[in-house]
Amino acid sequence: MFLRVLFLLLLAMNVGVASWLYFAPETTEREVAATDVGISRLELLAERERLGDAASAELVEAPAVSDTPDQCRSIGPFATQADMRAAMNKLTSRVRRIQYREARTTQPRGFWVFVPAMASREQALGVARQLSAKGVRDYYVVTAGDQQNTISLGLFREQANAERRRAEIAALGFSPQLLQRTEDLPVYWVDFAEDPQRPVAWRAEMPDLIDLKEQPVQCF
């Protein structure tokens, strides 16, 4: 009897609780502010960077691309690589493309006065003794190489001095000759492509290099 009453009591309690849960009025949850009034919201650094990148992507415009065909020029010759590289550093940011190239040039190295080569060393020494007998001291008999058996009478930087020396030896009854000496040296040119509507005033950038020349070149 007692167990039956306990069972009925528990059943009635369960039915009551279920009814209350089913018929109870719904309550709305009040949203709680993330921060107190007057205090700014905490913002993570990662969120700020993402927002900044997005804003930059929207605001920055693509650079204008000119449809004007390139105009290409070349300046030089530069005697040293140091001068050439200094010029490239000044022009690189102001032109569309830039490059350098090496060329060869022939430059004078003075003047040589000499008696042409004899058929043998004995003949060359014989002429040298004749020069010495007439008071000529500064001479040299070439003993090897392409100018073997030639009698050198001096190297001169100025042509006027070389001409004077030849005239002195010729007055003694010999037949000296004068030859301008040259050497093959490397030089450098700087080629660049520019917008013809915005030409580069390169001479203003290199006022010390007054010997430079300009010439048009095929664009690269």
Considering the domain boundaries, does residue 85 fall inside one? yes
Sequence letter at residue 214: E
Considering the domain boundaries, does residue 18 fall inside one? no
Instruction: Indicate whether 128 and 89 sit together in one domain.
Output: no
- pLDDT above 70: percentage of residues in the chain: 72
Considering the domain boundaries, does residue 55 fall inside one? no
Instruction: Indicate whether 102 and 195 sit together in one domain.
Output: yes
Higher pLDDT, 46 or 123: 123
Q: What is the CATH number of the domain that holds 210?
A: 3.30.70
Instruction: Indicate whether 91 and 112 sit together in one domain.
Output: no
pLDDT of 93 > 90? The answer is yes
Higher pLDDT, 155 or 11: 155
pLDDT tens-place string over residues 128-142: 999 999 999 999 999
Instruction: Indicate whether 128 and 159 sit together in one domain.
Output: yes
| Rounded mean pLDDT, 63-88 | 87
- Residue 42: predicted pLDDT: 61
The Cα–Cα gap between 185 and 191 comes to: 20
The Cα–Cα gap between 79 and 56 comes to: 47
Instruction: Indicate whether 173 and 117 sit together in one domain.
Output: yes
Q: What is the CATH number of the domain that holds 164?
A: 3.30.70.1070
| Stated pTM of the model | 0.51
The Cα–Cα gap between 156 and 110 comes to: 6
Sequence letter at residue 167: A
Domain count, the chain: 2
Distances (CA, A) of 131 to 116, 118, 119: 14, 14, 18
Instruction: Indicate whether 90 and 114 sit together in one domain.
Output: no
Instruction: Indicate whether 121 and 153 sit together in one domain.
Output: yes
- Residue 59: predicted pLDDT: 46
| Rounded mean pLDDT, 168-190 | 95
The Cα–Cα gap between 155 and 107 comes to: 16
Residue identified by tokens 């009025």 is 25
- Residue 13: predicted pLDDT: 75
Distances (CA, A) of 132 to 125, 129, 162, 175: 10, 5, 20, 15
- Residue 52: predicted pLDDT: 54
Instruction: Indicate whether 113 and 178 sit together in one domain.
Output: yes
Higher pLDDT, 176 or 9: 176
Nearest to 174 by CA among 155, 151, 157, 158: 151
Higher pLDDT, 152 or 16: 152
Distances (CA, A) of 130 to 33, 58, 61, 102, 118: 119, 94, 88, 49, 14
Considering the domain boundaries, does residue 164 fall inside one? yes
Four-residue CA torsion sign, 70, 76, 81, 82? negative
156 lies in which domain range?
Answer: 107-183
Considering the domain boundaries, does residue 198 fall inside one? yes
- Residue 216: predicted pLDDT: 95
| Rounded mean pLDDT, 13-42 | 62
DSSP state of 147: T
- Per-residue pLDDT band for 10 (boundaries 50, 70, 90) equals confident
Instruction: Indicate whether 137 and 165 sit together in one domain.
Output: yes
Considering the domain boundaries, does residue 172 fall inside one? yes
pLDDT tens-place string over residues 102-122: 999 998 889 999 999 999 999
pLDDT of 63 > 90? The answer is no
Instruction: Indicate whether 172 and 122 sit together in one domain.
Output: yes
